[in-house]
Amino acid sequence: MKMVDQTALPTRFAYVSCTTPEQVASAIRTMVVRGAPAIGVAAAMGLALAAQRSRASRVPDLIRDMEATAALLRSTRPTAVNLFWGIDRVMRKAKAADTVGEARESVVAEVRAMADEDVEANRRLGRVGADLIDDGDTVLTQCNAGALATVGYGTALGVVRAAIEQGKFVKVLVPETRPALQGARLTAFELSRDRIPCTLIADTAVGHMMSLGRVDKVFVGADRITKDGYVFNKIGTYQEAVLARRHRVPFYPAAPRSTFDLARTHGQVTIEERGAEEVFMIKGRRIAPKRVPVANPAFDMTPPELVSAMVTERGLIESPFASGISRLMS
Ligand code: MRU
């Protein structure tokens, strides 16, 4: 399988080929591929690769080989539920097969279906969200919730794309998104490439821009939305939501069904802690004194009371969110 190397952007647009599930796991862990829907489908592809490479001639042996790979893929990143959703979907298909040949074929077909469904869901949720955007709006986002983070089109940026397709003029304010800089490196790249007007800002400028009235709406993606309506997304999202409430700016997470976790409440989610070097190094140079303690939570949690509505391919979910999620997503 081939994927865009997101660690090389925006300097270099290069593809990485993975021929083993171990390479796929490493690509997910090191964020060669990142973004919740993208890692869900990538993990599913990694598992399909395991099915093809297994020497098993009986279904139980194939399942055992695939379970070992599934465990490796599950250990790569803990927060985005799409990763677990993708793996579970492929495992279910394999377990339903009568022969090894049938299992191999059906897992590949399942992964193809998942990839197509992701683009379709994003286009649909894009149209749902676009109705919330007025001509001339400036939309604030966070991280990269665009085509790069999905199989195509994007979630939060899919909403922007759909609004533009409706003939509206929309401008995007892009926080750099320290420490991994997905905003500066990926969202600014993706939007500029598609000629969508955007302005890059430092993360620290978000409150000031809102206080000047320069943000009309906030649209962000999500890595997991729990059944009690809490939104887990890239670190910095929560402070955007708090500031949005202070300045009466609507705050909308946009996410497909695969991002909803109907089995868990917010207290049961692990927020990924990434390496300290992401914080104390910039472009290979240390920017903080040696031995200073560093915390690097990669995601944060926005409570439902700060959410104006959730944009999904099945329609808008409004408060009270727990019942809305259960009604629309079950
Ligand atoms: O650490 P990342 O880059 O994988 O985090 C990605 C995000 O937080 C995105 O906002 C989220 O996955 C939604 S992508 C459509």
pTM value? Answer: 0.98
Closest residue CA from atom 15 of ligand 1: 145
Position 50 scores a pLDDT of: 98
Atom of ligand 1 at shortest distance to CA of 234?
A: 8
For ligand 1, the distance from its centroid to the CA atom of residue 234, given in whole angstroms, is: 6
Name residue, tokens 């943000």: 215
Reading the chain (330 residues) residue by residue, the pLDDT tens digits are: 999 999 999 999 999 999 999 999 999 999 999 999 999 999 999 999 999 999 999 999 999 999 999 999 999 999 999 999 999 999 999 999 999 999 999 999 999 999 999 999 999 999 999 999 999 999 999 999 999 999 999 999 999 999 999 999 999 999 999 999 999 999 999 999 999 999 999 999 999 999 999 999 999 999 999 999 999 999 999 999 999 999 999 999 999 999 999 999 999 999 999 999 999 999 899 999 999 999 999 999 999 999 999 999 999 999 999 999 999 999
Position 283 scores a pLDDT of: 84
DSSP H helices in the chain? 21-29, 36-53, 59-74, 81-95, 100-130, 156-165, 182, 188-193, 206-211, 237-246, 277-280, 321-329
Can you state the percent helix, strand and coil of the chain, rounding each to 5? Answer: 45, 15, 40
Cβ–Cβ contacts within 10 Å for residue 74, how many? 15
Q: List pocket residues of ligand 1, CB cut-off 6 Å.
A: 34-37, 80, 143, 145, 149-150, 155, 182, 221-223, 233-234, 298
Position 238 scores a pLDDT of: 99
Hey, which residues are catalytic here? Answer: 223
Burial of 88 (0-12, 13-18, 19+ CB in 10 A): middle
- The pLDDT tens digits for 65-94 are 999 999 999 999 999 999 999 999 999 999
Q: What is the SS3 assignment for 78-117?
A: CCCHHHHHHHHHHHHHHHCCCCHHHHHHHHHHHHHHHHHH
DSSP state of 304: G
For ligand 1, the distance from its centroid to the CA atom of residue 220, given in whole angstroms, is: 9
